[in-house]
Amino acid sequence: MSDLLITGGKIVNEGRSAEQDVLVRQGRIERIGPSISPPSPSCKIIDASGKLVMPGLIDDQVHFREPGLTHKACMRTESRAAVAGGITTFFEMPNVSPPTLDMKRLEEKYAIAARDSVANYAFFLGASNENIDAVKAADPTKIAGIKIFMGSSTGNMLVDEEDVLEKIFRHAPATIATHCEHTPSILENEETAKKEFGDEVPFSEHPKIRSREACLRSSSLAVELAKREKARLHVLHITTAEELALFESGHDRITAEACVHHLWFEQSDYQELGSLIKCNPAIKSAEDRSAIRQAVADGRISVLATDHAPHTWEEKQASYFKAPSGLPLAQHSLPLMLEMTKTGCFSIETVVERACHAPTRIFDVRERGFLREGYWADLVIVDPDRETVVDESELFSRCNWSPFSGTRFSHSVELTLVSGQVAYYAGKPSDEPTGQRVEFESQRR
């Protein structure tokens, strides 16, 4: 692994932006400072003048579909899309086939990632109505956290028995991440829609079916359980203004997340994009979107992530009840977040805090997520003066379509370093498995 010296870039890290050099040796950041000299003649120099240098994103919510659903995606293809989007580490969800409900299945995924992943990786252990013993026995140094589908979505992983939920919250050895939607309300709304439209429900009904009440009811229960059982809780993909009242800025034990599609689209976009933006929870109103953007700015939302969830184009052509929910998002995550800084929603320093630093703290990640001497060199160089144009011929996700097709973002990812190795450069992801297994602290409750 050769030494790398990145010179003249504007480093955005830990709430500050300043011009500094970064020296990378043996995969780690050796020094950050002004005017660093190359330590050896073989040291590669990257001139980052006029560019931004920031920690790579830690995306705590992706669905890479391996094992079992590889017609949609796999670890290799999706990790290549991830590094193109500035993501250097991902935490992957358990709704694969078979679902990741015990440590044996989890280790099988680690083995696939060690063979194929271009980005650093970790995996959530899924909870079910039946696997409390596996949850209790889970080694907190080996899991990203415990994922609970408190609302049903892709896969059959709903946990809806309240006594089981209580036990999971009481015994989870690490941070719990929840998908919150109250399924009985959704089923009722589906029946109402069926009466009105039959099987051809317009996609614009999705936010009414996957309703705001369903979200609030389930998120409120999750927060109540976390307080009662003294668990660490991270509520994934918040979509309504009302849910924001459940969270406080600066609180690191009960936290919330916003995902890029919920920050970008609003419900009238269903008219044009239909199933392509069908996702769970649904995209809600423009007012909800503004409230979520504001909460990202003021810290009630702690984390920015993607919920990258690819399905094939053919699957997405089906009618409302058959078309699966989820969108491929990873490849454009950082350009989209930076676009929101351009339009004044929040600052670049806030993007770095929410997408890089906060996941590190909430999930107790070791030695990543910050540009610090001694930490792994997971970083991104961004060109603020070169556009990213979303072109269907330049997509890396296996499903090969994007909800952003034709969109122009004002920033572009130029280079991504994963554990000190070049994982993406000048439009091309690496073919090497440059990712490493993420390590976690041992005390995590």
Q: Provide the binding-site residues for ligand DOR, judged by CB under 6 A.
A: 63, 95, 153-154, 179, 279-280, 309, 324-326
Contact 380, 416 (CB under 8 A): yes
Q: What is the distance between the alpha carbons of residues 418 and 438, in angstroms, rounded to a whole number?
A: 12
Give whole-number Cα distances, 372 to 159, 169, 313, in Å: 40, 34, 42
Alpha carbon separation from 373 to 30, 368, 440 (Å, rounded): 5, 11, 19
Q: How far is CA 7 from the centre of its chain?
A: 29
Q: Can you tell me the distance from the alpha carbon of 68 to that of 74, in angstroms, rounded to the nearest whole number? A: 9
Round to whole Å and give the CA distance between 158 and 150: 6
Nearer to ligand DOR, 275 or 325 (CB): 325
Our CB check for ligand DOR shows the closer of 142 and 261 to be: 261
Measured from the CB atom, the residue of 240 and 280 that comes closer to ligand DOR is: 280
Q: Which helix (H) or strand (E) holds 258?
A: strand 254-259
Taking the complex as a whole, how short is the minimal distance between the CB of residue 281 and ligand DOR, in angstroms? 7
How far is the C-alpha of 326 from the C-alpha of 309, rounded, in Å?
5
Residue 279 Cβ, how far from ligand DOR at the closest point, in Å? 4
CB of 280 to ligand DOR, least distance (A): 4
- Amino acid (1-letter code) at residue 321: F
Q: Which is nearer to ligand DOR, 324 or 420 (CB)?
A: 324
Rounded-to-integer distance, Cα 307 and Cα 243, Å: 18
CB of 176 to ligand DOR, least distance (A): 15
Q: Tell me the H-state helices in 1-131.
A: 75-84, 103-116
Q: Which residue's beta carbon is nearest to the bound ligand DOR? A: 326
Nearer to ligand DOR, 262 or 357 (CB): 262
Q: 103 or 158: whose CB is closer to ligand DOR?
A: 158
Please say which residue, 94 or 369, places its beta carbon nearer to ligand DOR: 94
Secondary structure element (H or E) that encloses residue 284, with its range = none
Per DSSP, what are the bridge partners of residue 131? Answer: none
Residue 162 CB, shortest distance to ligand DOR, in Å, is: 21
Give the nearest distance from C-beta 175 to ligand DOR in angstroms.
17
Q: For the chain, report the end-to-end CA distance as a whole number of angstroms.
A: 37
Q: Are 333 and 86 in contact (CB under 8 A)?
A: yes
Our CB check for ligand DOR shows the closer of 301 and 377 to be: 301
Residue 164 C-beta: closest distance to ligand DOR, Å: 19
Rounded-to-integer distance, Cα 269 and Cα 273, Å? 6
The minimum distance between CB 6 and ligand DOR, in angstroms, equals 36
Amino acid identity at 416: T
